[in-house]
Amino acid sequence: MPLLEVENVSMRFGGIVALDAVSFDAAAGEIVGLIGPNGAGKTTAFNVITRLYTPDEGDVRFDGESLFGTSPSGVIRRGIARTFQNVELFSGMSVIDNVRVGGHLRQGDQSADDVLFYMNLHSVRDRPVSDLPYGTQKRVELARALASGPQFLLLDEPAGGLSHEEVEQLGVFIRRMRDDFELTILLVEHHMGLVMGIADRVHVLDFGKRIAEGTPAEVQANTSVIEAYLGVPT
């Protein structure tokens, strides 16, 4: 049984259909990519999973039990954590205090300081996050997610704003983090080299529909995926 199951989820905002009967899953221990052009519904799917949105139809199950009826904080207690496309930190607070916010609902036994050491952030432990470079802020946000002791981690465009070298390092780190913390990871990312280099499976959305699923090699060879990203030749 998959650890996470998204089943026939539809989400509308007025006349806009953000998700149209979307289904996908992630098995324990997998790194799963969720990709698609801008506006495909990827972040909406994240917001449904983490209970920021309630869909019009469908269900999301985690470890066999529906997440609907669970609050966003309850989702964290269930073992699900996330990062955001735009860094969401408390800018006036120190690094350690931001990470402690994640540890407030901790499931595991990692302390905030343990996570800072793991993320190589202990040297900036007491600095306000607003003083730090963007790439470092993204690591702080990830540290905060890890501090909650999740089983399942949702990463929303972690490579955004990073240099080519930083993206390569990020790919190595995500795999190591998956193994070290025994995580299942769902990754939304526009950097295709990163996704195809680390994902076990990839789901593809376009205009709110799932149009493909498979290994990175299968997805890259799929004509529907090529057309969604490049357009249909005229």
CATH (domain of 169)? 3.40.50.300
At 25 the pLDDT is 96
Q: Confidence class of residue 138 from pLDDT cuts 50, 70 and 90?
A: confident
Q: How far apart are CA 112 and CA 109, in angstroms?
A: 10
Q: Within a domain: residue 27?
A: no
User: Is pLDDT at 179 greater than 50 in this prediction?
Assistant: yes
Q: Domain range spanning residue 107?
A: 71-187
User: Is pLDDT at 106 greater than 60 in this prediction?
Assistant: no
Q: What is the DSSP letter of 220?
A: H
Give, for 214, the enclosing helix (H) or strand (E).
Answer: strand 209-214
Q: Within a domain: residue 48?
A: no
Question: What digits encode the pLDDT tens for the residues 108-123?
Answer: 445 888 899 999 999 9
Mean confidence (pLDDT) of the chain: 89
User: Is pLDDT at 94 greater than 70 in this prediction?
Assistant: yes
Rounded to the nearest 10 degrees, what angle do helices 134-147 and 95-103 cross at? 30
Helices (H), the chain: 42-49, 72-78, 95-103, 112-118, 134-147, 164-181, 192-198, 216-220, 223-230
Higher pLDDT, 4 or 111: 4
DSSP 144-189: HHHHT--SEEEEESTTTT--HHHHHHHHHHHHHHHHHHT-EEEEE-
Q: Within a domain: residue 159?
A: yes
At 178 the pLDDT is 96
Q: Within a domain: residue 109?
A: yes
User: Closest by alpha carbon to 33, among 154, 142, 135?
Assistant: 154
Question: What digits encode the pLDDT tens for the residues 196-221?
Answer: 999 999 999 999 999 999 999 999 99
Q: Within a domain: residue 3?
A: no
Q: How far apart are CA 111 and CA 103, in angstroms?
A: 7
Q: How far apart are CA 112 and CA 147, in angstroms?
A: 6
Q: Confidence class of residue 66 from pLDDT cuts 50, 70 and 90?
A: very high
What's the one-letter identity of residue 53? Y
% of the chain residues with pLDDT over 70: 92
Paired tokens of 197: 């280099």
At 110 the pLDDT is 56
The mean pLDDT value for 151-175 works out to: 90
User: Is pLDDT at 232 greater than 60 in this prediction?
Assistant: no
At 105 the pLDDT is 53
Q: Within a domain: residue 78?
A: yes
At 234 the pLDDT is 39
Cβ(132)–Cβ(89) below 8 Å: no
Q: Within a domain: residue 204?
A: no
Q: Within a domain: residue 24?
A: no
Question: What digits encode the pLDDT tens for the residues 23-63?
Answer: 999 999 999 999 999 889 999 999 999 999 999 999 999 99
Overall domain count for the chain: 1
